[in-house]
Structure 1
Amino acid sequence: MAQEVVIPNEEVVLGEELDHVRLITLNRPRQLNVISSKVVSLLADYLERWEKDNKAELIIIKGAGRAFSAGGDLKMFYDGRKSKDSCLEVVYRMYWLCYHIHTYKKTQVALVHGISMGGGASLMAPMKFSVVTEKTVFSTPEASIGFHTDCGFSYIHSHLPGHLGEYLALTGARLNGKELVAAGLATHFVPSEKLPELEKRLISLNSGDKNAVKSAIEEFSVEVQLDEDSVLNKKSIIDECFSKDSVAEIIKSFEAEASKEGNGWIGAVLKGLKRSSPTGLKITLRSIRDGRKQTLPESLKKEFRLTMNILRASISEDVYEGIRALTIDKDNAPKWDPPSLDQVEDEKVDLVFQPFKEDLEVLIPEKEESRWHGKYETTPYATSK
């Protein structure tokens, strides 16, 4: 495993049992509650135990400090770049866990205050109830650093209206709390000053009854009115441009729209797109398009293959160059290889999508009697060490 920096005795995930309510707090506020291997293991342990516990009815998850979760621990991936498959275990456990979060048997509420990005948002979007505020910031920016939209988002984004999913995945565009509700990625908008009171109200309910939980949240929530300049009001342009067959055609179409009156907003988005990893963009577009035809388990298995092949630098080292430029040297000047879209061969992109041998895929148990089987410990990855 890649080494992660954890302060001794620091509890990175807090789990509290309050009669019929269970409260999870992501507790790495200084690191914006990024997801490390320890975080994934603790989340899985709590969720499995509480799903099987008849007394547990309502699960609430929140983040400590000013973030919900900023996503995966990029430094952990970077530090493991020279050790073969150093992050395989945490990747496997995370995608396996994503399936269980999507299909969880108890009522879940995410209280999402602040940053909720990438893999961190996978602890928000699938929940029965996800509450956001005016300070919530969402994005899936992985393609820009040579990675791909993962943790179930190749499935989630592909099922958004029109071609909004391609737009969010390729551009890493940010959505605020109101936009998340309007897009269907969150269920309720609650002003941030009311969030502590809502949490107390949910705990006092002491019940997982969905109607009761919904009514309690609605006591605090307000109706969403999109700002006039919201990107969600640009749906016709997004659908026109991001429906194109290739990244190059999407950019060309977007450039044509940028020249029209009233489309000044496109300039900054285009600039970001053109600075992103060409390899990451091509992999991401194909993954989102595949997601439309896939089940959630199929999407997660695909994402696992993509992640492992990308981390193995099987066709490019862009992900490590992207992390270096963003978080290590912070020069924001990545040197992509290959440097342009036309140099990223489709045959090479095909390679990262190739299925693994069946027992090396993420073993997602879809039968009820074996729901929590398929753990990393029972895979050839663990037993061959």
Structure 2
Amino acid sequence: MAQEIVKGDEGVVLTEEIGFVRLITLNEPRRLNVITSDMVALLAKFLEKWEKDDTAALIIFKGSGRAFSAGGDLKTFYNGRMSKDPCVEVVYRMYWLCYHIHTHKKTLVALVDGISMGGGASFVVPMKFSVVTEKTVFATPEASVGFHTDCGFSYMLSRLQGHLGEFLGLTGARLNGKELVATGLATHFVPSEKLPELEKRLIGLNSGEENAVKPIIDELSITSQIDENSVLNNARFAVIDECFSKDSVEEIILSLEVEASKEGNGWIIPFLKSLKRSSPTSLKIILQSIREGRKQSLAECLKKEFRITMNILRTMISGDVYEGIRAFTIDKDNAPKWEPLNLEAVNIDKITEVFRPFKEDLELKIPNEEDRRWQGKYEGSSYANSV
């Protein structure tokens, strides 16, 4: 008997129910599937519904067009900047959604055949199976727009080998599909042309059992070595690990400048430029958040990030987030005027205030349940075998 297919068209989110399989497609291709308040609400609704549905066993996520998701809708933040509590509802829902993806009881699979950045990548990395291709591009570029590494990334980046998490969070460096698998930020590399076959076979499996899903993905995935010029190769990673182990952003930059002056280390210069172009306030917040994340649970990281997000949007310490959005998204002059302009002028007491817990009734309220994929899995991993 043919399986019944139930399709849902919610505009920004498309769904299909096929037997025990549920398929979600982010459907804003012209906007690179940016995460809007409507999208967050719909994704939360479907994930909650299917977690309680005994006929739903496997949930597959993908994006339409050339992106999985380019991240949050920055214009929403900008347009709400004059509100007393800017975007608090959508931010709260987004953090709950991130928590739900980390802890969902059903098997989640992401098929990522394009851009996956910031908040968009926060949907991908926690899933039990995150499949990437040669077209996948990952980054956490929040410092460049005056924001911080949010949506659980102080938890996930802090669990990468050595100080790679600080490097990615502070510089916004991009990783390709091969590098994502090498770091553990993705689980499988499948050639782009094979994704339709993988999706078809997963749907045909009509099961969510991990020991049934994994062999199918394994069969179509390939073992791929990272490129010789990757930041993960042994020599370059050693430099990154040493430089980004320093106690402060100022010391990190100084260490990078020393290394960049050495013969053969020109590859460092773009990352140095990125650091020097980014919001000094954001850099300080990001470094502290990732460092704290190493000792925090998933729930603690999400609660902390919620506080930071709301305090940044309330301009507690600086208006850099709105200046960054203006410069790169609204006016597009690519010339943000950060306040303050340099790292030395950032008020450390104000940084401390950004992290301070809210009153209990204003905190993000999520259970202290552990995530299903990330708990300790990649700590101490090595990239050496991938080079």
Normalized against structure 2, the TM-score is what? 0.92
1:98–1:122 contact (8 Å) kept in structure 2: yes
* Superposition deviation, residue 10 in structure 1: 6.3
1:155–1:294 contact (8 Å) kept in structure 2: yes
CA deviations 1:219-253 (Å, max 9, x no partner) are 21100211000011121101100000000000000
1:374 aligned residue: none
1:60 aligned counterpart, secondary structure: strand
1:245 aligned counterpart, secondary structure: coil
1:110 aligned counterpart, secondary structure: strand
Q: Report the Cα distance in structure 2 between the residues aligned to 1:211 and 1:225, rounded to whole angstroms.
A: 26
2:320–2:339 contact (8 Å) kept in structure 1: yes
Q: Aligned ranges for residues 115-134 of structure 1 at < 5 Å? A: 115-134=115-134
Whether 1:223 and 2:223 are equivalent positions in the alignment is: yes
2:299–2:367 contact (8 Å) kept in structure 1: no
Aligned length: 360
Q: Aligned ranges for residues 248-287 of structure 1 at < 5 Å? A: 248-287=250-289
Q: 1:367 to 1:168 in 2, by over 3 A?
A: closer
2:32–2:70 contact (8 Å) kept in structure 1: yes
CA deviations 1:164-189 (Å, max 9, x no partner) are 00000000000000000000000000
Q: Report the Cα distance in structure 2 between the residues aligned to 1:358 and 1:158, rounded to whole angstroms.
A: 26
CA deviations 1:325-348 (Å, max 9, x no partner) are 111111110000000000001111
2:103–2:369 contact (8 Å) kept in structure 1: no
CA deviations 1:71-93 (Å, max 9, x no partner) are 10001111111122231101001
1:95 aligned residue: 95
2:347 aligned residue: 345
* Superposition deviation, residue 37 in structure 1: 0.8
Runs of at least 4 residues of structure 1 off by over 2 A?
Answer: 365-368
Q: Report the Cα distance in structure 1 between the residues aligned to 2:187 and 2:168, rounded to whole angstroms.
A: 18
* Superposition deviation, residue 261 in structure 1: 1.5
2:189 aligned residue: 189
2:375 aligned residue: none
1:380 aligned residue: none
1:329 aligned residue: 331
Whether 1:292 and 2:288 are equivalent positions in the alignment is: no
1:4 aligned residue: none
1:378 aligned residue: none
1:97 aligned counterpart, secondary structure: helix
1:47 aligned counterpart, secondary structure: helix
Q: Aligned ranges for residues 115-154 of structure 1 at < 5 Å? A: 115-154=115-154
1:333 aligned counterpart, secondary structure: coil
Q: Report the Cα distance in structure 2 between the residues aligned to 1:70 and 1:34, rounded to whole angstroms.
A: 5
Q: Report the Cα distance in structure 2 between the residues aligned to 1:47 and 1:320, rounded to whole angstroms.
A: 32
Unpaired runs of 5+ residues, structure 2, are: 1-8, 371-387
1:181–1:224 contact (8 Å) kept in structure 2: no
1:165 aligned residue: 165
* Superposition deviation, residue 126 in structure 1: 0.2
Q: Aligned ranges for residues 205-224 of structure 1 at < 5 Å? A: 205-224=205-224
The AA in structure 1 aligned to 2:301 is: S
Q: Report the Cα distance in structure 2 between the residues aligned to 1:269 and 1:27, rounded to whole angstroms.
A: 33
Whether 1:357 and 2:359 are equivalent positions in the alignment is: yes
1:25 aligned counterpart, secondary structure: strand
Unpaired runs of 5+ residues, structure 1, are: 1-8, 369-385
The AA in structure 2 aligned to 1:98 is: C
The AA in structure 1 aligned to 2:271 is: V
* Superposition deviation, residue 362 in structure 1: 0.6
1:158 aligned counterpart, secondary structure: helix
CA deviations 1:347-368 (Å, max 9, x no partner) are 1111111100112111002479
Q: Aligned ranges for residues 5-16 of structure 1 at < 5 Å? A: 11-16=11-16
2:19–2:206 contact (8 Å) kept in structure 1: yes
Q: Report the Cα distance in structure 1 between the residues aligned to 2:321 and 2:189, rounded to whole angstroms.
A: 34
Q: Report the Cα distance in structure 2 between the residues aligned to 1:270 and 1:162, rounded to whole angstroms.
A: 19
CA deviations 1:72-121 (Å, max 9, x no partner) are 00011111111222311010011111111101111110000110000000
The AA in structure 1 aligned to 2:125 is: A
Q: Report the Cα distance in structure 2 between the residues aligned to 1:238 and 1:122, rounded to whole angstroms.
A: 23
Please tell me the root mean square deviation across aligned C-alpha atoms, in Å: 1.1
2:378 aligned residue: none
1:56 aligned counterpart, secondary structure: coil
Identity rate of aligned residues, in percent? 74
Whether 1:32 and 2:32 are equivalent positions in the alignment is: yes
* Superposition deviation, residue 14 in structure 1: 1.2
Q: Report the Cα distance in structure 1 between the residues aligned to 2:237 and 2:361, rounded to whole angstroms.
A: 42
The AA in structure 2 aligned to 1:126 is: P
Q: 1:170 to 1:223 in 2, by over 3 A?
A: same
1:66–1:113 contact (8 Å) kept in structure 2: yes
CA deviations 1:263-309 (Å, max 9, x no partner) are 11101110111010000000000000010111000000000000000
1:372 aligned residue: none
1:182–1:224 contact (8 Å) kept in structure 2: no
Normalized against structure 1, the TM-score is what? 0.92
Q: Report the Cα distance in structure 1 between the residues aligned to 2:309 and 2:209, rounded to whole angstroms.
A: 38
